[in-house]
Copies of this chain bind each other. A is one copy, B any other.
Amino acid sequence: MASRNGDDRSIEERLHRIEDRLEIYNLIAGHPPSADTAASDYTASIYTEDGTFDRGAEFPAPTGPAAIAAVSASPEHHRAIEEGIAHFAGLPYVRVTGDTAFAISYIQILVPDRVGPVFEVPNHGASQGFHVHRVGANRWDFVRTADGWRIKRRQVRSLDGSEGAREILRGTFAPAAE
């Protein structure tokens, strides 16, 4: 059947591409819950064996599922969870190309504010609110495996005016490889 938009992919190929895209949305959406509950087994399960997690020069850069999962299994990370850390993911830009894909996304890291004034909002209780601790630009590189999509590389850079975050964000506009 000819496609209305003139491409020559089969129904099967188009359907599969869409399923890929939705699977990747869920991989990105699963990250905040995994970080905020220290779900290390899950984290280990979504990286490739040679997967990398690069948060910039001021943090260690673990390689491989076990080392990456260990980041959120540390006592330090558990303390952040007890304080109420929340990772908050925005709408990602996602491009699938055959058996690889990438996404560019923003993330906020928030913590309860324990020093500011209490705000009372009608019908929504009273709270000192939350402090937006970091805003990061992420680049995710994915590969298809026999078990589904996996993360081969995740990079995060803080949006603090430095060049690293902008370099990641510009990936959105890279020419299509196909």
Contact = CB atoms under 8 A, between A and B. Distances in A.
B123 A161 contact: no
Interface string A109-135: 111100101010111110101111111
Contacts of A25: 91
Given A5-B16, A115-B117, A90 B93 contact: no
Nearest to A17: B19
Contacts of A95: 26
Contacts of A61: none
B173 A39 contact: yes
A122 B1 contact: no
B4 A123 contact: no
A74 B117 CA distance: 26
Interface residues of A, number: 88
A88 B1 contact: no
A82 interface: yes
Contact of A121 (B21, B29, B111): B111
B129 A133 contact: yes
Interface in A48-77: 58-59, 71-72, 74, 76-77
Interface of A: 1, 3-5, 11-16, 18-19, 21-22, 25-26, 28-30, 32-34, 36-37, 39, 41-42, 58-59, 71-72, 74, 76-77, 79-95, 104-106, 108-112, 115, 117, 119, 121-125, 127, 129-135, 137, 158-162, 165-166, 169-173
24 contacts: A3-B16, A5-B16, A11-B11, A18-B22, A21-B22, A30-B93, A33-B137, A33-B170, A33-B172, A36-B137, A36-B159, A72-B123, A79-B123, A84-B159, A84-B160, A85-B121, A85-B159, A89-B106, A109-B124, A110-B135, A111-B119, A119-B133, A129-B134, A130-B132
